[in-house]
Structure 1
Amino acid sequence: MTQTNTQTNIQPSPDILCIGSVLWDIIGRSPMEMRRGSDMPGRITRLPGGVAMNIAMTLARFGLKPALLSAIGRDDEGNELIAACTRLGLITDHIYRSDDLPTDRYMAVEGANGLIAAIADAHSLEAAGDKILKPLQDGSLGSATDPYAGPVALDGNLTLSLLDDIANDPAFAAADLRVAPASPGKAERLRPFLTRNRGTLYVNLEEAGLLCQAEFTNSETAALAMLERGACRVLVTDGGRSATEAGPHSLVTLVPPRVTVARVTGAGDTFMAAHIAAETRGDTGELALASALKAAATYVSGEPPL
């Protein structure tokens, strides 16, 4: 049996909705370079994570009030995660809680040379499907006749069929959609937004290549190719080399600040959230892109993005 979450204390109205994975990140980090088969000393941490969660946490640090739409189990790990979200200032009223689906998890190993390997277990989110969107259809946050009109951050941990439905759903017709794949392996799930010229897409160089079925050597070329493929607006990052924002009437490319890399998991989510926050406060173009790159660089250096 499944049921939706109910709370007696109603939280504030959200500034933005973050839809997608909210789970526990289990990250093993070693200060040494690693390769396949390496067995190194390091630290293992468990922190709230997931693309939607990472974006929401960063948005909250910038003073916004994000609401999470996701699936979290009613197990002990799920109750701990809800409590952690609440402590971080995130709105959890609309999260779908399940009695028979466990709380999702993500596991990664990082070395001094970056991400070595990762496994995302977001099967509960996928199994919940469109149940997580009920608040946008039943009037809690919006409906087909009175759609939610604010910004919405979507992540590619949702299934391709659900993302395709969102791209067509009248309940999202007035939303400012911001979409990111959860990983290169899920980049193809963003294709409905290409074919329907919907939303702002946040991808890295590899993900842009997968969506365009091509190889790119820089972010500007990749961004322009995505526009040709049907993207309404796109931001393409290329690690520490460059980032490009491109739309029908804009093209901006900047080089990120140089920093010593201490972590990589969550950097793309931080970049996306910082860019949304910058545009929310009125920054545009080069100023918004520079702000996002600074926040991401600060994050990978091991410091908070503020």
Structure 2
Amino acid sequence: MTDTPQILCIGSVLWDVIGRSDAAMRQGSDMPGRITRLPGGVALNIAMALRRFGLSPSLLSAVGRDADGEALIAACNARGLGTDLIYRSDDLPTDQYMAVEGSNGLIAAIADAHSLEAAGDKILRPLEAASEPYTGAIALDGNLTIDLLSQMAQSPLLAQADLRVAPASPGKALRLSPFVQTGRGTLYVNLEEASLLCQMQFDSSQDAAKTLLERGAARAVVTDGGNPATVATPDDIVSQTPPPVSVTRVTGAGDTFMAAHIAAELRGLCAGDALDEALSAAALYVSGETTI
């Protein structure tokens, strides 16, 4: 990398296919609604939100050279995101994510990130080609394989980076274990993901954050929907309750929270102010008043 990006976003860059209904839904429901296709993926969602918060992110991911991939790269460029570092594959199709949401929240979702997993450490070639370890901020999502995440948790290339890590979904929470074991990076998890990562149930974000620190995590940020969220380090624990809002969507809320929190801290805000700003940004997003 000849020019150091303001922040690297590493992980899934794909198409989101989201079906939303205004009705409450359950397994087997068949309801009228709207289906949309938008650029998405955890890394891309975070990058788009970071751009909205005034930062200039670049993406490290895998995107196919198929028609979907060309359209996705064009969409990223149109949003002011750096795409020059993305690994472009001639053989792998562009990944996608599909979700169904009702008025009562997320009903089901499937993330097809197989191409990103198959690309493996090819997506890290820009970091490996650099003459010195990367010292900037990194937002990393858990759509990478456990082997690659473990490699990154121990890599000297990232030893000096301001590393921020999210699991991408509860089903991939255990992939963050290497970062707990090595005590590297800030972990962004919700209460369910923290429970899976620690293999125990928690009643509050504060309990979850404390346990993550006890297990070895350097820093933990734990959310719990409309209940208090917590930012914890060995020296300080801050908890705040999100503002009450009417929820119109949930997919992307965690990405918005994480991006807002990173942006606030990079501006130098203290722990309490940064958490407050992130919770407010996420509340506006789930209420439908802002987009990623």
User: What's the TM-score, normalizing by structure 1?
Assistant: 0.94
Structure 2: unaligned runs, 5 residues or longer: none
3-state SS, counterpart of residue 129 of structure 2: coil
- Which of 182, 192, 208 matches 1:222? 208
2:184 corresponding residue in structure 1? 198
Query: Following superposition of structure 1 onto structure 2, how do residues 3-82 of structure 1 map, counting pairs within 5 Å?
Result: 13-82=4-73
Q: Is the 8 A contact 1:11 1:93 kept in 2?
A: no
CA distance in 1, matches of 2:3, 2:159: 23
3-state SS, counterpart of residue 182 of structure 1: coil
2:261 corresponding residue in structure 1? 275
Q: Aligned pair count?
A: 292
Runs of 4+ in structure 1 off by over 4 angstroms are 10-13
Report how far residue 12 of structure 1 moved: 6.8
1:223-245 deviations in whole A, cap 9, x for unaligned? 10111011100000000111000
Query: Following superposition of structure 1 onto structure 2, how do residues 112-151 of structure 1 map, counting pairs within 5 Å?
Result: 112-139=103-130, 143=131, 146-151=132-137
CA distance in 1, matches of 2:209, 2:216: 11
3-state SS, counterpart of residue 137 of structure 1: helix
1:261 corresponding residue in structure 2? 247
3-state SS, counterpart of residue 290 of structure 2: coil
CA distance in 1, matches of 2:185, 2:264: 17
Does residue 88 (structure 1) correspond to residue 79 (structure 2)? The answer is yes
CA distance in 2, matches of 1:14, 1:304: 26
2:193 corresponding residue in structure 1? 207
3-state SS, counterpart of residue 196 of structure 2: helix
CA distance in 2, matches of 1:204, 1:291: 17
Structure 1: unaligned runs, 5 residues or longer: 1-9
3-state SS, counterpart of residue 290 of structure 1: helix
1:28-85 deviations in whole A, cap 9, x for unaligned? 0000000111110000000000000000000000110000000000000000000000
Percent of aligned pairs with the same residue? 69
CA distance in 2, matches of 1:79, 1:246: 41
User: What's the TM-score, normalizing by structure 2?
Assistant: 0.98
Report how far residue 183 of structure 1 moved: 0.5
3-state SS, counterpart of residue 271 of structure 1: helix
2:92 corresponding residue in structure 1? 101
Amino acid at match of 1:196: T
- Which of 126, 134, 146 matches 1:160? 146
Amino acid at match of 2:64: G
Q: Provide the alpha-carbon RMSD of the alignment.
A: 1.3
Does residue 233 (structure 1) correspond to residue 181 (structure 2)? The answer is no
3-state SS, counterpart of residue 150 of structure 2: helix
CA distance in 1, matches of 2:4, 2:192: 36
Does residue 176 (structure 1) correspond to residue 167 (structure 2)? The answer is no
- Which of 279, 283, 295 matches 2:281? 295
1:97-139 deviations in whole A, cap 9, x for unaligned? 0000000000000000000000000000000000000000112
3-state SS, counterpart of residue 77 of structure 2: helix
CA distance in 2, matches of 1:99, 1:240: 44
Report how far residue 11 of structure 1 moved: 10
Amino acid at match of 1:192: P
Amino acid at match of 1:183: S
Does residue 244 (structure 1) correspond to residue 235 (structure 2)? The answer is no
Report how far residue 256 of structure 1 moved: 0.1
Q: Is the 8 A contact 1:67 1:91 kept in 2?
A: yes
3-state SS, counterpart of residue 211 of structure 1: helix
CA distance in 1, matches of 2:31, 2:246: 20
Amino acid at match of 2:263: A
